[in-house]
Amino acid sequence: MPIEVLLADDHSIMRAGLRALLESRIDMTVTGEAQNGREALNLACEIRPDVVIMDVSMPGLNGVDATKLIIEALDTVRVIALSMHADRRFVEGMLMAGVSGYLLKDCVPEELVTAIRTVARGHIYLSPTIADTVVRNYLGHLSLQTKSPQPVLTCREREVVQLIAEGRGTKQIAATLHISPKTVETHRRRVMEKLELSSIADLIKFAIREGITSL
């Protein structure tokens, strides 16, 4: 049976290129495409692919949180991050979300093919650049063990933060997440309290700095 792959990227030309690459392999087939993280989550639950190729920075719901929700819902699905970002916040975020692989978009096509086959067998695949980032980050954590940990946001809080940073109003956020406007306001207030922020501008800066949104 061919490896079934779901593509999640907000650039249609990127998805078209990936589809052409993967469907030229006899052991792979593209079963779906999504242009944002929320579509990726819904499609993954519907078609249950073997592997999801996930962009990290996407509107509505970023790749980190989409990956976390997909893996929580579907423990047999493997996710590979394919991103232009190699810095700590993105790599660490995707690894903590549970990805089985991380590659950069400037990798050679055959490396992505190899990565898909590797993770489909239940193994981990990291490009050399990303592996170096992971090691450096681990060593950095060892030297900063006494540093106070940053408050951790829940997945729903991160969703709300991303939508606020992208300029969505309370009613829009409520409709997107299928919750009440009052619940949206409650999440916003709790996030501000957790992070000790005093304004929406500070919240947007936080979202950009932590890679929750790419704005």
Q: How many C-beta atoms surround the C-beta of residue 158 within 10 A?
A: 23
Domain that holds residue 68: 3-142
94 shares a domain with 199: no
Q: Would you tell me the crossing angle of helices 181-195 and 170-177 to the nearest 10 degrees?
A: 100
| Polymer length in residues for the chain | 215
192 shares a domain with 94: no
Write down the pLDDT at residue 48: 96
120 shares a domain with 35: yes
Q: How many C-beta atoms surround the C-beta of residue 170 within 10 A?
A: 17
Write down the pLDDT at residue 113: 95
What CATH number does residue 40 fall under?
Answer: 3.40.50.2300
Pick 191 or 85 by higher pLDDT. Answer: 191
The residue out of 86, 112, 142 marking a domain boundary is: 142
60 shares a domain with 7: yes
Segment 43-52, tens digit of pLDDT: 999 999 999 9
Query: Is a pLDDT exceeding 60 seen at residue 215?
Result: no
Residue among 37, 41, 18 nearest 112 (CA): 18
Segment 134-186, tens digit of pLDDT: 666 654 554 444 455 566 888 899 999 999 888 888 899 999 999 999 999 99
* Phi, psi for 6 (deg, rounded to 5): -110, 130
pLDDT band for 18, please (50, 70, 90 cuts): very high
The DSSP symbol for 181 reads H
Neighbour-count burial for 71-94, b at 16+ CB within 10 Å, e otherwise: beebeebbbbbbbebeeeebbbbb
Segment 106-138, tens digit of pLDDT: 888 999 999 999 999 999 898 877 876 666 665
Task: Give the chain's domain count.
Answer: 2
In sequence order, the β-bridge partners of residue 104 are 83
What CATH number does residue 171 fall under?
Answer: 1.10.10.10
| Token pair in block for residue 185 | 């306001």
